[in-house]
Amino acid sequence: MAYRLIFVPKLTRRDSVHSFRIHTLNKSGIELRSSYQTVDDTLFLDGSDWKIVSFTHKEIVLEQIETPQNGYRTGQLFQGTPLINDYVSKEIIKNVPQNKYLLIDFWGTWCKPCISQIPELVNFWKKHKDDIVLISVLHDQQSNIDIAKKIIADNGMDWIHVWDDIKDSKWAKPRGINVYPGFIFVDKDNIVLSSYEGGDIFKLVEETIAAGKQ
C-alpha cells in the first residue's frame, strides 16, 4: 500500500452530521491526501471496505465489510488505460512515459464546473508539464466532440485528449467516476494516490511532485 498511517482528528458536528478529516501519509510520513469523511460513509483501507460502528469525540471503531466497489481507491495498483486515441491530434498513443506522474481529468461540454476549471488546469499544466502526463477524458456525446475541440483550441489545452462515449463508457464508468470534474492521480510506481477528488487535486499533485524531488 502507498499509505502507512491514517490519522483521524476528533469528530466535529456540522449541520447535524458528524464528520472528520482523514489524513493519509505515505511510508515516509509525507501526507498524500486529506479528505472529508462522515460517519455514514465507508472507508477503503488495506484493500477492503470498512464502516464506522461506533464513535466518540476521541475514538472511532471500524468494522471490515464486504462491499463490491466500482473504481479505484487510494493505495490500489493502477491497472492502466484503454487504448489512447487522441481525437485532437489523431495520434494513437501506445506507451505512456513511466517516469512521470499520471493525471487523468474527466470532463464534458455539458459540465459547467469542468469548463470553469479549465483556466486553472491550463496554468497547472504549464507549470508541471515536465513532471506529469495529463489525459483529459471527454465523457460526452459524439455530437459534442467539435464543441470540445473548439474549447481545447481556444484555451490552449495542448495535452492528450480522448473521447469516452457517454452511452458506452470505456473510461469513466469502469473507473467509478460519477462526479465531474473528476480526477485520477497515479504516482511513478503505478499506485493510485487519489480518485474522485476535485478541488484539492492540484494541491495534492504539486505537493507530491515537490516531495519526490527532495
Give residue-wise pLDDT tens across range 143-158: 999 999 999 999 999 9
Identify whether residues 90 and 196 lie together within a single domain: yes
Identify whether residues 138 and 178 lie together within a single domain: yes
Residue 104 maps to a domain = yes
The whole-chain average pLDDT of the chain stands at 81
Identify whether residues 47 and 147 lie together within a single domain: no
Residue 144's domain is classified under what CATH number?
3.40.30.10
| Residue 68, pLDDT score | 46
pLDDT at position 192 over 90: no
Torsion of CA 118, 121, 123, 124, to 10 degrees: 180
Look at the chain and report how many structural domains it folds into: 2
In the chain, % of residues over pLDDT 90: 36
Identify whether residues 52 and 94 lie together within a single domain: no
Identify whether residues 116 and 208 lie together within a single domain: yes
Identify whether residues 109 and 57 lie together within a single domain: no
Is pTM beyond 0.75 here? Answer: no
**More confident: 3 or 86:** 86
Residue 23 maps to a domain = yes
**More confident: 148 or 44:** 148
Mean pLDDT of 5-31: 66
| Residue 29, pLDDT score | 72
Identify whether residues 43 and 92 lie together within a single domain: no
- Read off the pLDDT band of 163 (50, 70, 90): very high
Between the alpha carbon of residue 194 and those of residues 54, 85, 93, 182, the distances in Å are: 27, 24, 24, 10
Residue 71 maps to a domain = no
Residue 128 maps to a domain = yes
Identify whether residues 153 and 188 lie together within a single domain: yes
pLDDT at position 119 over 90: yes
Residue 9 maps to a domain = yes
Condensed to tens digits (0 to 9), the pLDDT of residues 46-90 reads 555 677 777 776 677 777 765 445 566 666 788 888 889 999 999
Which residues, listed in sequence order, are joined to residue 24 by a DSSP beta bridge? 6, 33
Identify whether residues 33 and 114 lie together within a single domain: no
Identify whether residues 34 and 139 lie together within a single domain: no
Domain range spanning residue 34?
3-65
Residue 72 maps to a domain = no
| Residue 207, pLDDT score | 86
Cα–Cα distance, 136 to 119 (Å, whole number) = 14
Cα–Cα distance, 96 to 98 (Å, whole number) = 6
